Chain A
Amino acid sequence: MHQERFDDIRARFAEEIASAASESDVLDIKGRYTGKKRGILQELMASLKEVAPEERPAFGQAVNALKSELEQGVDEALARVRDAKRAPAGLDVTLPGLRPDLGHLHPITRVRREIEQIFISMGYAVATGPEVEDAYHNFEALNTPADHPSRDIQDTFYITPDVLLRTQTSPVQIRTMEARRPPIKIIAPGRVFRRDDDVSHSPMFFQVEGLVVDRGITMAHLKGTLTHFYSALFHRDVEVRFRPSFFPFTEPSAETDLTCVICGGSGCAVCKRTGWLEIGGCGMVDPAVFGFVGIDPEEYTGFAFGLGIDRIAMLKYGIDHIRHLYDNDVRFLEQF
């Protein structure tokens, strides 16, 4: 029976205090409820004498509890209205947040860094070389003699008959082996150029070349390295398949196929329903190449591999056309 009175007071207080907008509102409410003179709680306490004697101690305790509850409500309301006075008001918080003016890294850079990072974690050093090369480093020392049809595999931009835009980052292999002895463990990312411009080719694109030379290096190491690398790059376990092929500077040579990272090998448009993606070339360093740089092929063996950064970027980000990569449309760049 008394409980109803308590609940009624509590509810009325809650309503009034919630709508109090100023400090004086709150103080007015405070006076009316907990005031020493004629406050509502004061009146409640005065009704103690109407309560049955055995219930009086409990009733008194309940009034005191309610009092401290209301005082707490008053304190909170006071803090609220005082803060509101100090803070700015009237903001439409649904307005868009103001984003800092940040730029975007080119997708080629993002992918190149990812590739570099994986190989660096495997102990590789990043190496670079000139983009304008001589025929010796781009071709001859890579076992691609002048007047040999293997020169035709790559259509070349020439500056003079002996100076050209490198068609591959493989000359960095030669320059590295010229400069130091095994063990060698490098990757060489960079721009390469082919005299080729159609729907699926750009006259300039980015490649990464890898080279490992040491005692006892085998083709199984090549397969292991590429399997680990591609699994890390695509964040899933991929299988690498070697398909015998021909490159002048490796023997045996192989095309590297990768279980399709789009469909997982079940077949899709990207892998032309084969379940495999042709992703790069590789092989064991040809003894003739070692001959050009003075490394004894009986003492050392090595492997080399190459892959296109453009192709990886297109696969990773679902870019449908190579031309987007070098068009530098800001609507494209801002997606990365």
Chain B
Amino acid sequence: MKFPIPWIGQYTELPGDDDVARAFTLSGSEVEGRETEEGETVMEFGITVNRPDCMNVYGLAREASVLFGKRLKPVEAAVLESGPSTAQLTSVVVEAPELCPRYRARVIRGVKVGMSPAWMQKRLAQCGLRPINAVVDATNFVLMELGHPLHAFDMDRLKERRIVVRRAGPGEKITTLDGVERTLDPERLVIADSLRPVALAGVMGGEDTGVTFGTGSILLEGAVFEPVNIRRTSKALGLHTDASHRYERGVDPEGPVAALDRCAKLILDMCGGTLAPDPVDVYPAPAVPKRVILRHGRLVSLLGMDIAPERCASILTALGFGLEARGDGSWAVTVPSFRVDVSREADLIEEVVRVNGLEGLRAELPQGIDPVGGRPAELEFEERLRDQLVAAGCSEAIHMSMTDPAVEKALGACAQAVPLANSLAPANSVLRTSLLPPLLLTAAKNRSRGARKVALFELGRAYLPAESGRPGEDPRAAVLLYADAPAKTWGAAPVPRLLDLKGKVESALDRLGLEVVFTAAERFPFASGLCLNLSVGGRRVGSVGTLAPRALDAAGLKGGSAHYAEWSLGGLEALCRPPSFTSLSRYPSVVRDFSFMADKGVSWAALRGKLVSLPLPNVKAIHLVDCYEGEGVPEDKRSWTVSMIFQSPDRTLTEEDVVSVAPVVTGALQEAFGAVLR
């Protein structure tokens, strides 16, 4: 909010601009910018939502007077009244007092409306307002100066020259000053004449009854409206104005008096006319000043800093609070009507702190015995998984949780992704149900920037639609390997294969103490025959596979191949088995290799399963040494070399121990698979 410094200076003595900016910034109203307009300094104040009293020149002057210990001058608002009383000229009926606690009106007759003088136009321009005519400018001027929104009606255009404050009828219409016709409902409060709405209360006036250069009589409104209703109306109609901005934050219930007088004086000065005595004031339940107890001891113990009682008292008094010492180190504090934000002891402590400053605050650590801190086991598990995946050669990506619904769908998302009600862009309009869409889009983006090979992982949540309307959050891990050409870098591995990915996933989880079981599966977006279920502890937790070409198309990846794994992390941590020591045999091991050919249809899982099941003593491990097809091997066969390692815990194995193994192995493989020893 922009205000010229000399205007503030009219009400209290100010030091140089640098000191002004610094003092405001360090007391809670940050000076966010400074410029020179029409030869004067204008500052941009970042006024927090709790301080509507500072959203005007006089409020800032009050702050400055406290910060710099200077006097605050009163507002000049003495007016000359004459002729019939206001009540004889108009009437005000408030039919919805719950939405309008106070409505005060003044009437000025016989005005000649011209343009406002240059000095006033300059002030308005400095605050970012355009001049309209002398009367409208006067209301805006007072809004900027004293912070209370006012509205001026052309009284001759009010039917029966009277005001009714009421809820709008269903479907009732009003054309506001911006020329837009708006359809209302009973949730909207209107200012009406005897016939129709003439203003949207606290938001904007109506076009028909606004003051023009032809206006002769004016009804000036100074009202108090209920903040929540103003805010709802402003939101519902998409109409945010200087008035609604202040009303929705809360205005001083006593504000209309001075604001109307000040405005009336300005209008009389500029436009002439006579001001009717005895303003109409519908104020059935005058606001009762709030009283709050402030304990000095509480202030000291909350801050950990001693601010002397005299200092506290003088700060609060200067800010307009009434203090009454209670003799026990506390005060009964009366809150001034303009401080709508203060109602509790904590608020008063903040007031003292704000003005006193926090420079004197020591920096000390809490005393006492600390609870044991640390990460919960599930988070520690995630950190360790990250480290394992980095060690496996993958770099960590972090994506938005929002993604493109079209890509989600094209990648075969099993559920309808949860849409945001107010997304910023279609490409970020749903919550991902899988980590695949963002990862694959990222691969495509990197490819378009020249990367030929991408190895990425991400740990993050998938958001799964639920009946309740609140999506379930499933912590996931995903790994994507993509390449569209063999690596051309010195020493780099060639194009990654599905088995590389399978190995990375298996080794990462194995290192965390999880035993992974892979079983063949068929599932889009994986290519047919190139997909595996990933299970841990007898439960399927995810998939690993080669992505189908049309999945790559969906992300705009032209060419190349991608392998992808994604699994759910929920509950995995509880299944992790810490390493457990197995004693080391003191006796050497014996190795036997078996080379044989089998039909292409025979899988490693089948071969291994058979070998494991053989009743052979002292088998320590079975390793795959080689699996080969091609030259030298018949078209329909594959050649295998398997290594079996034998070791006894209590003696050295002899040749005789192992020699009997060969016929058992070859016999079994031949019987089961027709495998022929090479």
Question: B-contacting residues of A (Cβ < 8 Å)?
Answer: 95-96, 98-99, 101-106, 108-109, 113, 116, 119-128, 130-132, 134, 147-150, 152-153, 157-160, 163, 165, 183, 185, 191, 193, 195, 197, 203-204, 212, 214, 216-221, 223-228, 240-246, 251-255, 284, 286-287, 301, 325-331, 333-334
Pick from B249, B302, B367, B492: contact of A301, CB below 8 A. Answer: B302
Q: Please determine whether A220 and B361 come into contact, CB atoms closer than 8 angstroms.
A: yes
Q: Please determine whether A220 and B389 come into contact, CB atoms closer than 8 angstroms.
A: no
Is B616 part of the binding interface, using a Cβ–Cβ cutoff of 8 Å? no
- Chain A to chain B contacts (Cβ below 8 Å), 27 pairs: A102-B390, A103-B455, A105-B390, A105-B395, A106-B395, A106-B397, A119-B373, A120-B373, A120-B375, A125-B373, A125-B375, A126-B376, A131-B461, A163-B470, A214-B368, A220-B303, A220-B305, A221-B366, A244-B27, A244-B354, A251-B346, A254-B358, A301-B301, A326-B399, A326-B400, A328-B445, A331-B449
Which residue of chain B has its CB nearest to the CB of A252? B350
Q: Please determine whether B364 and A224 come into contact, CB atoms closer than 8 angstroms.
A: yes
Contact of A219 with B304 at beta-carbon distance under 8 Å, contacts A225-B366, A243-B26 already known: yes
Q: What's the least CB distance linking A205 to chain B, in Å? A: 10
Given contacts A102-B393, A122-B365, A153-B49, 6 further A-B contacts (CB under 8 A): A95-B490, A104-B396, A132-B463, A132-B471, A218-B304, A329-B445
Q: How far is the CA of A212 from the CA of B391 in the complex (A)?
A: 36
Which residue of chain B has its CB nearest to the CB of A286? B346
Pick from A122, A134, A220, A284: contact of B470, CB below 8 A. Answer: A134
Q: Please determine whether A216 and B301 come into contact, CB atoms closer than 8 angstroms.
A: yes
| Chain B residues with CB below 8 A from A193, complex form | 401
Chain B positions 605 through 639: 1 when the CB is less than 8 Å from some CB of chain A, otherwise 0:
00000000000000000000000000000000000
Is B180 part of the binding interface, using a Cβ–Cβ cutoff of 8 Å? no
Q: Which of B164-172, B271-279, B415-423, B558-566 contacts A (4 or more CB under 8 A)?
A: B415-423
Is B150 part of the binding interface, using a Cβ–Cβ cutoff of 8 Å? no
Is B491 part of the binding interface, using a Cβ–Cβ cutoff of 8 Å? yes
Q: Please determine whether B370 and A122 come into contact, CB atoms closer than 8 angstroms.
A: yes
Q: Please determine whether A159 and B396 come into contact, CB atoms closer than 8 angstroms.
A: no
Contact of A328 with B402 at beta-carbon distance under 8 Å, contacts A163-B470, A220-B364, A224-B362 already known: no
| Chain B residues with CB below 8 A from A158, complex form | 420-422
Q: How far is the CA of A116 from the CA of B402 in the complex (A)?
A: 26
Number of B residues with CB within 8 Å of any CB on chain A: 92
Contact of A221 with B365 at beta-carbon distance under 8 Å, contacts A106-B396, A113-B383 already known: yes
Is B3 part of the binding interface, using a Cβ–Cβ cutoff of 8 Å? no
Is B451 part of the binding interface, using a Cβ–Cβ cutoff of 8 Å? yes
Q: Please determine whether B371 and A183 come into contact, CB atoms closer than 8 angstroms.
A: yes
Q: Please determine whether B361 and A101 come into contact, CB atoms closer than 8 angstroms.
A: no
Contact of A132 with B431 at beta-carbon distance under 8 Å, contacts A104-B396, A122-B370, A244-B28 already known: yes
Contact of A242 with B361 at beta-carbon distance under 8 Å, contacts A96-B490, A104-B390, A126-B375 already known: yes
Is B584 part of the binding interface, using a Cβ–Cβ cutoff of 8 Å? no
Interface of chain B, main secondary structure: loop
Q: How far is the CA of A197 from the CA of B383 in the complex (A)?
A: 29
Q: How far is the CA of A231 from the CA of B29 in the complex (A)?
A: 28
Q: How far is the CA of A147 from the CA of B422 in the complex (A)?
A: 18
Q: Please determine whether B395 and A219 come into contact, CB atoms closer than 8 angstroms.
A: no
Which residue of chain B has its CB nearest to the CB of A130? B473
Q: How far is the CA of A119 from the CA of B473 in the complex (A)?
A: 26
Interface of chain A, main secondary structure: mixed
Which residue of chain A has its CB nearest to the CB of B450? A331
| Chain A residues with CB below 8 A from B573, complex form | none
Q: How far is the CA of A226 from the CA of B370 in the complex (A)?
A: 17
Q: Please determine whether B471 and A106 come into contact, CB atoms closer than 8 angstroms.
A: no
Q: How far is the CA of A285 from the CA of B387 in the complex (A)?
A: 36
| Chain A residues with CB below 8 A from B362, complex form | 220, 223-224
| Chain A residues with CB below 8 A from B471, complex form | 132, 159
Pick from A96, A204, A219, A286: contact of B491, CB below 8 A. Answer: A96
Pick from A214, A244, A326: contact of B350, CB below 8 A. Answer: A244
| Chain B residues with CB below 8 A from A147, complex form | 227-228, 231-232
Pick from B373, B383, B442, B492: contact of A185, CB below 8 A. Answer: B373
| Chain A residues with CB below 8 A from B350, complex form | 244, 251-253
Is B187 part of the binding interface, using a Cβ–Cβ cutoff of 8 Å? no
Residues of chain B in range 463-495 having any CB-CB distance to chain A below 8 Å: 463, 469-471, 473, 490-493
Q: What's the least CB distance linking A5 to chain B, in Å? A: 55
Q: Please determine whether B379 and A126 come into contact, CB atoms closer than 8 angstroms.
A: yes
Pick from B365, B379, B423, B469: contact of A224, CB below 8 A. Answer: B365
Contact of A128 with B379 at beta-carbon distance under 8 Å, contacts A251-B347, A252-B354 already known: yes
Q: How far is the CA of A191 from the CA of B492 in the complex (A)?
A: 35
| Chain B residues with CB below 8 A from A204, complex form | 400-402
Q: How far is the CA of A116 from the CA of B371 in the complex (A)?
A: 15
| Chain B residues with CB below 8 A from A219, complex form | 302-305, 353, 358, 361
| Of listed A131, A225, A226, A331, residue having the most chain B CB within 10 A | A131
Q: How far is the CA of A148 from the CA of B232 in the complex (A)?
A: 10
Q: How far is the CA of A148 from the CA of B230 in the complex (A)?
A: 11
| Chain A residues with CB below 8 A from B507, complex form | none
Which residue of chain B has its CB nearest to the CB of A283? B350
Q: How far is the CA of A108 from the CA of B227 in the complex (A)?
A: 41
Is B363 part of the binding interface, using a Cβ–Cβ cutoff of 8 Å? yes
| Chain B residues with CB below 8 A from A123, complex form | 370-373
Pick from A109, A203, A251: contact of B424, CB below 8 A. Answer: A203
Q: How far is the CA of A253 from the CA of B351 in the complex (A)?
A: 11
Which residue of chain B has its CB nearest to the CB of A298? B298
| Chain B residues with CB below 8 A from A330, complex form | 395, 446, 451, 454, 456
| Chain A residues with CB below 8 A from B602, complex form | none
| Chain A residues with CB below 8 A from B344, complex form | 287
Pick from A131, A160, A220: contact of B363, CB below 8 A. Answer: A220
Q: Please determine whether B401 and A152 come into contact, CB atoms closer than 8 angstroms.
A: no
Q: How far is the CA of A212 from the CA of B367 in the complex (A)?
A: 12
Q: Please determine whether B302 and A131 come into contact, CB atoms closer than 8 angstroms.
A: no
Which residue of chain B has its CB nearest to the CB of A95? B490
Q: How far is the CA of A159 from the CA of B468 in the complex (A)?
A: 12
Is B315 part of the binding interface, using a Cβ–Cβ cutoff of 8 Å? no
| Of listed A227, A241, A251, residue having the most chain B CB within 10 A | A251
Q: How far is the CA of A286 from the CA of B358 in the complex (A)?
A: 18
| Chain B residues with CB below 8 A from A286, complex form | 346
| Chain A residues with CB below 8 A from B368, complex form | 183, 214
| Of listed B50, B249, B373, B423, residue having the most chain A CB within 10 A | B373
Is B220 part of the binding interface, using a Cβ–Cβ cutoff of 8 Å? no
| Chain A residues with CB below 8 A from B50, complex form | 150, 246
Chain B positions 340 through 356: 1 when the CB is less than 8 Å from some CB of chain A, otherwise 0:
00001011011001100
Q: Please determine whether B454 and A152 come into contact, CB atoms closer than 8 angstroms.
A: no
| Chain B residues with CB below 8 A from A149, complex form | 49, 231, 248-249
| Chain B residues with CB below 8 A from A244, complex form | 26-28, 350, 353-354, 358
Q: Please determine whether B469 and A160 come into contact, CB atoms closer than 8 angstroms.
A: yes
Q: How far is the CA of A253 from the CA of B399 in the complex (A)?
A: 32
Chain B positions 531 through 549: 1 when the CB is less than 8 Å from some CB of chain A, otherwise 0:
0000000000000000000
| Chain A residues with CB below 8 A from B302, complex form | 218-219, 284, 301
Q: What's the least CB distance linking A297 to chain B, in Å? A: 8
Q: Please determine whether B473 and A132 come into contact, CB atoms closer than 8 angstroms.
A: yes
Q: Please determine whether B492 and A101 come into contact, CB atoms closer than 8 angstroms.
A: yes
Pick from A96, A124, A159, A165: contact of B469, CB below 8 A. Answer: A159
Q: How far is the CA of A253 from the CA of B365 in the complex (A)?
A: 19
